[in-house]
Amino acid sequence: MSPCISVMSLFVVIVRILAEEETAVCEMWGSPEFPLLFKSGDIMIGGAFFVLNFREFRFAQTMIFAIEEINNSSSLLPNISVGYKIFDSCGSTLPSTRAALGLINGQERTFGKSCSGQSTVHAIVGATKSSSTIVLSQIAGIFQIPVISHFSTCACLSNRKEHPSFFRTIPSDYYQSRALAQLVKHFGWTWVGAVRSDNDYGNNGMATFIEAATQEGICVEYSEAISWTSLDEQVERVVRVIKTGTAKVVVAFLGYDEMDILLEEALRQNITGLQWVGSESWITSSNLALRKYSGILTGSIGFAIKKAKIAGLQEFLLQVHPSQDPQNHILREFWEETFGCSFQPSLQGVKQCSGSERLRDIKNPFTDVSELRISNNVYKAVYAVAHAMHSMLKCGEKSNVLCLDVNFSLQSGEKVYFDERGDPPATYQLVNWQKNSAGDTVFVTVGSYDASLPDGKQFTIKEMNLTWFGESKQVSRPISVCSESCFPGFRQAVIKGKPICCFSCIACAAGEISNSTNSAECSPCPLEYWSNEDHNKCVPKVIEFLSYEETMGALLAGFSLFGASLTLVVSFVFFWFRHTPLVKASNSELSFLLLLSLTLCFLCALTFIGQPTDWSCMLRHVAFGITFALCISCILTKTITVVIAFTAKRPANTVPQCSVLLQRMGVLGGTFLQVLICVVWLTLAPPFPHKNTVYAAERIILECSLGSSIGFWVVLGYIGLLAVLCLILAFLARKLPDNFNEAKFITFSMLIFIAVWVTFIPAYVSSPGKFTVAVEIFAILASSFGLLFCIFAPKCYILLLKPERNTKNHMMGRNQVKT
């Protein structure tokens, strides 16, 4: 491509720029068409700085200082002189365009009828603002002239297709924006405000920050933009939005100029109590570290370029004097601005400059070298050009394009190199604004960020050294959330129409927990665990079974032992009166066997109390089935005996005696059949302990599973069958003699027995948990007491209280007077 740009190409570029910025307000020191600072050399390095600003003028002088060092070096570009040509970029795109064309063309008039055949500069250092640098890079890129920026951080400049010859010595905002998001996340600030410069720097940087913040779960309450050319009404509106917002943290992705305008309005509206998080553009600006802003900015935190020391720079800056170049009006205007004087004696009210003033006595951003961050980037940029040219000359290269593998170390030991996008390593220092003992604001390094390290190790911070907004060092950090944190035991519930950071806290449901703050959802506990009272921990479920320790278990056990003891007392009474007619007539052998079975019935209830085990589950049902089968078999045999005894066709004075062998066989047969049923049940599907987690979710019911429901109901049905047979036979014998109508008492006992067990069935099926066992025990005890009292209470009454009735004649009814 010809190094001479066509008028049409220039027209297209300039029209686009003018459309973006129709009004460029800039007070310039001198004409934009001529360099402000110039020195010829074999290799020319261009510069674009906003020299109206003291800090930027220091950048320009740092560039000159680095060039002078290189010229005095015997190892770098020996026997080759390096010159410079510095234009004023004026901090905006239109003057930057003029500066770019002046640097490239090298003619006195940029828009003359002809242009030079070759660019007058081999590389350009600048500009400070990303928008200005974009224009500079696009124009210089047409001629393949490298542009190395010291302060332009827009990630868009890393695009090699649009900026093929762009490099920079400051990291891209791609990393800073993400580092800021991680910083905000680290302090738990999920609800922040955002304000940005309305240019490429602010818009691209904030867009990246919001994207990264969203991924970190951070919400932005508002995002406002201002420009250094904004109207007062616009700035006032933005500050009012900040003031009325609920976010206590403001992320300011602003250039120095925009931040200065914003602070003036914030001071006017008396904004305090906000935590400011700043970008590298203003976070170390000494121009803003004024006492009038301390109530607003003290405690501010943000990432800054690493601070460095440049040996000899301070002395070089202090030697700047108009006498160095009497024809350079820039030096004279700088001197006048610095000391508030004038070299023109005709001006009234302004003291005359003598030239004997000393910069050493002045403290301003030009002479302040305590925070050499961006100046060091300028220094590195100049050395990068020199090393690239040295490498090209050494290799015999003839092209003006910088080598991509530039890699060198400064005298301080700092390594300088670029990646494939022309970016340096992304390393930052975390800076906190604090007050010293004198009350002045100082920038204290409290951490660092290195994007080259693995995730989780990139960010370090010394939190104990932090100062928060407007306060001295304090333990607690500011809180900036849309909603208060949900403590463990609660979960977040998004509020309709609100950002995800605005939520309500809902307690976890029963059986669910959250063991961390701000849990998005509650986690269910494992099957055998349940949530504690605070719903922040899963604890083993309460295992429930009928135990001896609880009141109900103790009462049932007491009734069981009482029933067994009462039965033994009755047995003792019968044994004591065993030779009396009443006991003999009651078939003493069956009576004692019945009392034994009733004792076992009472005691078998105890097997239902306590923690179920394999053996206890089998024992309780088998013992229940066999003892009751034995009991009812005895009653059935006794009933049959009574019926036969009083219905036999014999003389009235004789009582037929049923064969003892047949009685024993009847009892044994009735019981053996039940034993057989139980054996089959235990063999095929025995009862076993079972943890029931279905009925009650909050507890485990430890119960005995029947194994086979059929087996259980067959055992219960067999007992019921025996009881029904007893009832029928006893009912048939209801008209026997009144004085010894045992069949009547058996009838009553069977009615009670059947009523109890018929009632038991629905109660058993519907009772929950341990109450199922309690119902079964109650049925056992109730039926046992019913049998004991109905059959033996009348006899014990006669034996103990009415001995006159305990005679053979009375038993036969011979002395009874009929009415």
**Parallel/antiparallel/unpaired status of strands 512-513 and 688-692:** unpaired
Residue 349: predicted pLDDT: 75
Residues 64 and 379: their CA atoms lie apart, in Å, by 9
- Average pLDDT for 664-689: 88
| Percentage of residues of the chain with pLDDT beyond 90 | 39
- Average pLDDT for 161-188: 94
Confidence category of residue 566, pLDDT binned at 50, 70, 90: very high
pLDDT single digits (tens) 636-669: 887 777 677 666 554 444 444 546 777 788 888 8
My answer on whether omega of the bond before 127 falls inside 30° of 0, hence cis, is yes
**Parallel/antiparallel/unpaired status of strands 147-149 and 123-125:** parallel
**398 DSSP assignment:** -
Contacts (Cβ under 8 Å, ≥6 apart) of 571: 592, 595, 596, 599
Confidence category of residue 225, pLDDT binned at 50, 70, 90: very high
Task: Give the range among 90-99, 364-373, 476-485, 645-654 with minimum mean pLDDT.
Answer: 645-654
Residue 166: predicted pLDDT: 95
Task: Give the range among 5-14, 358-367, 433-442 with minimum mean pLDDT.
Answer: 5-14
Residue 110: predicted pLDDT: 38
Residue 165, token pair as written in the block: 């010859």
Q: How many residues does the chain have?
A: 819
pLDDT single digits (tens) 37-87: 999 999 999 999 988 888 899 999 999 999 999 999 999 999 999 999 999
Whether 117 shows a pLDDT value over 50: the answer reads no
- 358 burial via Cβ count (<10 Å: 0-12, 13-18, 19+): exposed
Residues 741 and 729: their CA atoms lie apart, in Å, by 13
Backbone conformation region of residue 276, classed left if phi is above 0, alpha if psi is from -120 to 50, else beta: beta
Contact 376, 305 (CB under 8 A): yes
Residue 132, token pair as written in the block: 């200005």
Task: Give the range among 243-257, 276-290, 443-457, 787-801 with minimum mean pLDDT.
Answer: 787-801
pLDDT single digits (tens) 321-345: 999 888 888 899 999 999 988 888 7
pLDDT single digits (tens) 380-409: 999 999 999 998 888 764 454 444 478 899
Residues 373 and 381: their CA atoms lie apart, in Å, by 13
Residues 45 and 387: their CA atoms lie apart, in Å, by 13
- Average pLDDT for 583-602: 82
Residues 627 and 303: their CA atoms lie apart, in Å, by 87
Whether 8 shows a pLDDT value over 80: the answer reads no
pLDDT single digits (tens) 756-810: 888 877 877 777 667 888 888 888 888 889 888 888 888 888 888 877 776 666 6
Question: Which of 411, 369, 336, 310 lies closest to 73 in space, CA to CA?
Answer: 411
Phi first, then psi: what are they for 642, rounded to 5°? Answer: -65, -45
pLDDT single digits (tens) 731-747: 777 666 544 567 777 88
pTM of the predicted protein model: 0.67
Residue 127, token pair as written in the block: 């500009």
